[in-house]
Amino acid sequence: MTDRSPADGPAVRLRDASIGYDDVPIVTRVDLTVQRGEAVAVLGSNGSGKTTLARGMLGLATVLGGEVELLGAPVGRLRERGRVGYVPQRHTVSGAVPATVREVVSVGRLARRGLFRRLGAADRVAVGEAVAAVGLADRMEEPVASLSGGQQRRVLVARALAAQPELLVMDEPTAGVDAASQQALAEVLARVSAAGTTLLVVTHETGPLSGVLTRAVVVDQGHIRYDGPLTGAEPATGHGDHHCGPGEEPVRAGYRLDQPTVSTRPVRLGGGR
Amino acid sequence: MEVLEYGFMQRALLASLLVGLVAPAVGIFLVQRRLSLLGDGLGHIALTGVAIGVLTSTAPVGAALVAAVLGAVLIELVRARGRTSGDVALAVLFYGGIAGGVVLLSLAPRGQATNLESYLFGAITTTSGDDLVVFSVIALLVLAVVGLLGQRLYAVSDDEEYARAVGLPVLALNIVLAALVASTVVLSMRVVGLLLISALMIVPSAVAQLLARSFRQALFLACGIGLVVSVSGTTASYYTGTPSGGTIVLLAIALFLVVAAAVALREATARRRHRRRGEVHAAHPHEHGEGCGHRPVPHGDHVDYDHDGHLHAPHLTAAGVHYDEHGVEVPAPGAGQR
């Protein structure tokens, strides 16, 4: 092999990477490699830096030091960014002007097309498939604002799926979403993952996604505290070594580190907001 | 029609037609991204361009276009840096623009400085044939760019972060949009005046936003509304002797208030009717279902039950299930839903 095409290399590679905003690092000196086809949960409490880590991979936060590679190319220089799917940490689709499900999801196809090319038949097929995958085929022509919060999140997932991405990054896709929508999401992700798409899900509770995600990366105070099988960062069903005070909110779906070689600190979750 | 007998009114109506069509086509993207006042700011900056044009005896329209586009690009670059001081930088640029314009115009030779009012509030009846040619070219250019890049502009206006993550050229598209706004500002300058330009970009879009179901629909509707209020406002101003800009904008705002009231009324009526339907059998003795003794009647996307001659539609709420009255005869599908 003399040529190194962008198709080579891992989905994500961070080497000694520091990521933040303006000049303030939030994530410091992190090493992380995600191979293609992996399904990774990036876990951590609110403010741990897990969202910044993901945003750094996508070029949405500033890389202040080290290297960040996406699909085999430095993050700023990846030319075919259309191969990346992203579901931002938003609860709803919030544009001021009404838009239909089809219009929002069609945006997912734009990055794959040249700047002046109109979307064609193949794009319409992909949009239809993505909307069907999240179970909203019969709502295609409805204004997104008329859907429930959980359904709106599913529209954003469909937008990312419509891009037929090689790497799918999702930020808190289950937060504030009803149980039925969470289950629907888990099924979609299982199918996408089986088809070979790399998954990277930023979340503070794996919930129904535990069946899909296999590897966990736990972020705490800007550092990676655990990197291994998701089962190693298992849900803490009982109280474990954490004792709830009377005024404390219960942790709904937690996870606990069972490998003290990495860190002896139990990770506490920002349970309910 | 008397109004069409005069050449100056023919030109005025053509100019208002162009402006009414183009301003909302650009304005809807500003409404979408909640940057409604950008047009206002660029109007301020355009005034400095006008003043430079008047002082140097070059075409004020051309100088205004250059100033507004430069200002627009500068604003996008400031915004892209994302610093908190950006807000202040914009304010400095906007007020610097209008103050510079006023001071520069006052330096102009006697007789020309009186033009200030016509730029601030519009002077549509002074539109010349040459102006119309320039306006037509600007209007066609703006519409062509919106037609070509509309979907990308929508994407960036709707969710800038997503657009950036998937590699759409966000900064370039933002600059294109800002340049479109700047061009529209200059186009509208003669018709509604620099101080009222934003209104013609924003108010028709605000009306369309209340009525449309899709972005595409909203875009076309806004352009249609803009065209109608602009042309009828200009016509009305001829008969009432009022300034065209103010008349057009007041007409647009009146339309907005009427539509907003109608929409609110419709929603309130729908809620009241729904409550009344629920009250008929507020304490429903049993839940309808298979074998409950009442005949099931398929109705649109759900099944009603024939309860002693009237149709009951189950409605599940947090408080449990209650039954909405869906009439004695089978009504139009979907009626009474929500």
**Which residues of chain A does B218 touch, with a Cβ-Cβ cutoff of 8 Å?**
97-98
Least Cα separation, residue B101 to chain A (angstroms): 33
Contact B152 A115 (CB under 8 A): yes
ipTM for the complex shown:
0.79
Contact B216 A141 (CB under 8 A): no
Contact B165 A86 (CB under 8 A): yes
In a domain, A246, yes or no: no
* Per-residue pLDDT at B324: 65
- Supply the Cα-derived Rg of chain A in whole angstroms: 19
Confidence of residue B56 (pLDDT cuts 50, 70, 90): confident
What integer is the mean pLDDT of A135-162? 90
In a domain, A273, yes or no: no
The pLDDT tens digits for A17-48 are: 999 988 888 998 999 999 999 999 999 888 88
Per domain, the residue ranges of chain B are 2-198, 283-338
| More confident site: A261 or B45 | B45
* Per-residue pLDDT at B105: 84
Q: How many helices (H) and strands (E) does chain A have?
A: 5, 10
Instruction: Find out whether A41 and A230 touch, Cβ atoms under 8 Å.
Output: yes
Least Cα separation, residue A113 to chain B (angstroms): 10
What integer is the mean pLDDT of B132-150? 93
CA distance A153 to A68: 28
Could you tell me what percent of chain B has a pLDDT over 90? 35
What integer is the mean pLDDT of B187-216? 90
| More confident site: B105 or A78 | B105
Contact A104 B158 (CB under 8 A): yes
The CATH number linked to A59 is 3.40.50.300
Q: Give A68-128 as a DSSP string.
A: EEETTEETTT-S-GGGEEEE-S-SS---SS--BHHHHHHHHHHTTS-TTPPP-HHHHHHHH
| Domain extent at residue A33 | 12-233
* Per-residue pLDDT at B326: 65
The pLDDT tens digits for B8-52 are: 899 999 999 999 999 999 999 998 888 888 888 888 898 888 888
What integer is the mean pLDDT of B86-111? 82
The pLDDT tens digits for A175-198 are: 777 888 888 889 999 999 999 999
Pick from B31, B162, B168: CB nearest A96: B31
Q: Which residues of A touch B (CB under 8 A)?
A: 22, 58-60, 78-82, 84-86, 88, 90, 93, 95-100, 102-104, 106-108, 110-111, 115-116, 118-119, 141-143, 159, 163, 169
In a domain, A249, yes or no: no
Least Cα separation, residue B330 to chain A (angstroms): 23
- Supply the Cα-derived Rg of chain B in whole angstroms: 26
**Mean pLDDT (chain A, rounded):** 80
CA distance B310 to B284: 14
Least Cα separation, residue B14 to chain A (angstroms): 29
In a domain, A114, yes or no: yes
Is a pLDDT exceeding 90 seen at residue B62? Answer: no
How many residues does the structure list for chain B?
338
Instruction: Find out whether B257 and B250 touch, Cβ atoms under 8 Å.
Output: no
CA distance B267 to B264: 5
In a domain, A42, yes or no: yes
How many structural domains comprise chain A?
Answer: 1
**Which residues of chain A does B214 touch, with a Cβ-Cβ cutoff of 8 Å?**
98-100, 102-103, 141, 143
In a domain, A137, yes or no: yes
* Per-residue pLDDT at A201: 94
In a domain, A116, yes or no: yes
* CATH superfamily entry for domain B2-198: ABC transporter involved in vitamin B12 uptake, BtuC (1.10.3470.10)
Is a pLDDT exceeding 50 seen at residue A238? Answer: no
In a domain, A242, yes or no: no
